[in-house]
């Protein structure tokens, strides 16, 4: 409980700053309108107007929350204006890509740990690839797959998979190598085969590392799916909501899509965190 109060204070401070910024940034438009109409404005007029513009420079928090509520709870889920619908499009691509990326990453990590030639040739590239802005190839993947006749979910999922792939490889290699020489020697004195020492020692001891990289990976997957929706002029998905919002100046729509993405990311990372805690507790590895 000792942490709740400071966190709440900080959040309240951010909200207060946000309201102040909303008034300050939207006031110009209000004054312009008033000048054109030839009306004198009192301070309270400016305050009320900046809170309720239709296309504000910076929407006030309650406007975003109202929009979020309107587009999630009060629209049918199948409606094109429902954020749940768009969120699901993005989420399905994220999850598919995450599953592919994680699976491939774990397999490659196992290969790297067991094969010295693979380790020496692939590992430096896997590490170097983390310094490369991989996201830049997103538009190309979409268009190339499109010209091959593959559309919709799969191209976005491939970008997601690509982004979650390398964190998992690097984390998993670290994890599979985490048993020390003493433990490996013990397995050898038990006359364990390579397969046995993998299943009974290496894989269990890699779990903390796996979950840490899964958290990074799923956040990266979501970013990948959102960015994958940007360059093609997609009409469905959270990224598409942001893009159309920025085309038509619908700032409230952008902010609500942004918050929906943020909530989605927080939920996904939270779910992985819960899985981590439960699994590690069952394995007796939690601190």
Partner 1 sequence: MIWVVAALIFWAAMFWLNIRLSKSAQSHTRAVRLLVPAIFGITILVVWEGVVRGLNVPGVILPPPSAIAARISTSLPVLWADFVQTFVKGALSGYVIGCGAAVLVAVAIDRSPFLQKGLLPVGNFIAALPIIGTAPILVMWFGFDWQSKAAVVVVMVFFPVLVNTVQGLAAASAMQRDLMHTYSASYWQTLFKLRLPAAMPFIFNGLKIATTLALIGAIVAEFFGSPIKGMGFRISTEVGRLGLDMVWAEITVAALAGSAFYGLVAAMEKGVTFWHPSQRRS
Residues that bind partner 1 (CB under 8 A): 2-3, 5-11, 14, 57, 116-117, 119-125, 128, 130-137, 139-140, 143-144, 147-148, 215, 219, 222-223, 226-227, 230-231, 238-239, 242-243, 245-246, 249, 251, 254-255, 257-258, 261-262, 265-266, 269
Tally of CA atoms within 13 A in the half-sphere of 21 that contains its CB? 11
First to last CA, the chain: 20
**Nearest approach, Cβ of residue 205 and partner 1 (Å):** 22
Give min distance, CB of 144 to partner 1, in A: 5
> Least distance from C-beta 74 to partner 1, angstroms?
23
Between 77 and 144, CB nearer to partner 1: 144
Pick the closer one to partner 1 by CB: 150 or 186.
Answer: 150
Helices (H), the chain: 4-37, 43-51, 61-72, 83-114, 116-128, 138-147, 153-176, 181-189, 194-197, 203-228, 238-248, 251-282
CA-CA distance, 277 to 214, in Å (whole number)? 13
**Spatial distance between the Cα atoms of 25 and 28, rounded to a whole number of angstroms:** 7
Pick 122 or 203: Cβ nearer partner 1: 122
CA distance 71 to 257: 10
Choose between 55 and 188: whose C-beta lies nearer to partner 1.
55
Q: How far is the CB of 160 from partner 1 (least distance, A)?
A: 12
- Report in angstroms how near the CB of residue 243 gets to partner 1 at its nearest: 7
């Amino acid at each position: 409980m000792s942490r709740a109060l400071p966190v709440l204070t900080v959040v309240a401070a951010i909200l207060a700053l946000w309201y102040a910024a909303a008034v300050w940034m939207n006031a110009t438009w209000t004054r312009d309108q008033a000048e054109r109409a030839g009306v004198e404005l009192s301070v309270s007029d400016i305050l009320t107007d900046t809170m309720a513009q239709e296309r504000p420079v910076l929407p006030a928090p309650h406007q975003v929350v109202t929009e979020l509520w309107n587009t999630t709870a009060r629209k049918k889920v199948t409606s094109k204006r429902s954020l749940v619908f768009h969120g699901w499009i993005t989420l399905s691509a994220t999850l598919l890509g995450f599953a592919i990326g994680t699976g491939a990453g774990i397999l490659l990590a196992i290969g790297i740990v067991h094969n010295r030639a693979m380790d020496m040739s692939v590992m430096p590239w896997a590490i170097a690839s983390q310094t490369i802005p991989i996201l830049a190839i997103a538009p190309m993947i979409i268009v190339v797959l499109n010209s091959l006749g593959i559309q919709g979910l799969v191209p976005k999922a491939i970008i997601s998979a690509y982004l979650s792939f390398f964190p998992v490889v690097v984390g998993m290699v670290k994890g599979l190598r985490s048993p020390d020489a003493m433990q490996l020697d013990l397995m050898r004195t038990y006359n364990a085969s390579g397969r046995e020492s993998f299943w009974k020692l290496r894989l269990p001891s890699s779990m903390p590392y796996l979950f840490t990289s899964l958290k990074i990976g799923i956040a990266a997957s979501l970013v990948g799916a959102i960015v994958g929706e940007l360059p093609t002029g997609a009409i469905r998905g959270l990224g598409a909501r942001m893009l159309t919002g920025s085309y038509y100046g619908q700032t409230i729509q952008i902010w609500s899509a942004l918050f929906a993405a943020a909530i989605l990311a927080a939920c996904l990372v939270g779910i992985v965190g819960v899985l981590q805690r439960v699994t590690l507790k069952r394995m007796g590895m939690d601190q």
